[in-house]
Amino acid sequence: MSESLRIDRWLFFCRFFKTRSKATAAVTGGHVKLNGERTSPGVRVGIGDRIELVRDRLPYSLEVVTIPARRGPATEARGCYLEDDEVVRERETKLSALRQDRMLMPKTDGRPDKHTRRKLRERGRRSE
């Protein structure tokens, strides 16, 4: 096992992104910071580095513990990093707020009909 790995490969191996090209796009787009600074996909990650990333508008703050040798199962991937407890709580509150918003939307059996679409539109106008 090597002592460092490209950041895009590390994110892919640790299952933050489904494909390496999506991990590369996130790093290039500025959604990933290494030790507090914006980085490029080819920068190498070592043990002890701090990675901050935003995925699906949810924050992650990680400390690299080990360098994975492959993209293995999720349990193996979780052992490669430690998460900041405060950021985990923040992410959970954002997720619960999103779920709560979805619960308040009108429910339909499948595709919304004409009347339900009107309700959805009216609800959107009131919030603006």
Q: And the tokens for 54?
A: 């935003």
pLDDT band at 116 (very low <50, low <70, confident <90, very high): confident
Mean pLDDT, rounded, of the chain: 89
The number of folded domains in the chain is: 1
Proportion of the chain in helix, strand, coil states, percent, rounded to 5: 45, 20, 35
In this predicted structure, the answer to whether residue 123 has a pLDDT above a threshold of 90 is no
Nearest-10 Cα torsion for 23, 26, 28, 30: -140
The domain that contains 85 carries what CATH number? Answer: 3.10.290.10
CA 122 to chain centre: 32
**Full domain range(s) for residue 49:** 4-127
Q: Distance (Å, rounded) from C-alpha 25 to C-alpha 7?
A: 12
pTM: 0.76
Instruction: Give the lowest-confidence range in 10-24, 29-43, 111-125.
Output: 111-125
Q: What is the pLDDT of residues 34-65, one digit of tens each?
A: 999 999 999 999 999 999 999 988 999 999 99
> Which of these, 37, 60, 34, lies nearest to 48 by C-alpha position?
34
Burial class (CB in 10 A: 0-12, 13-18, 19+), 50: middle
pLDDT category at 102 given cuts 50, 70, 90 is confident
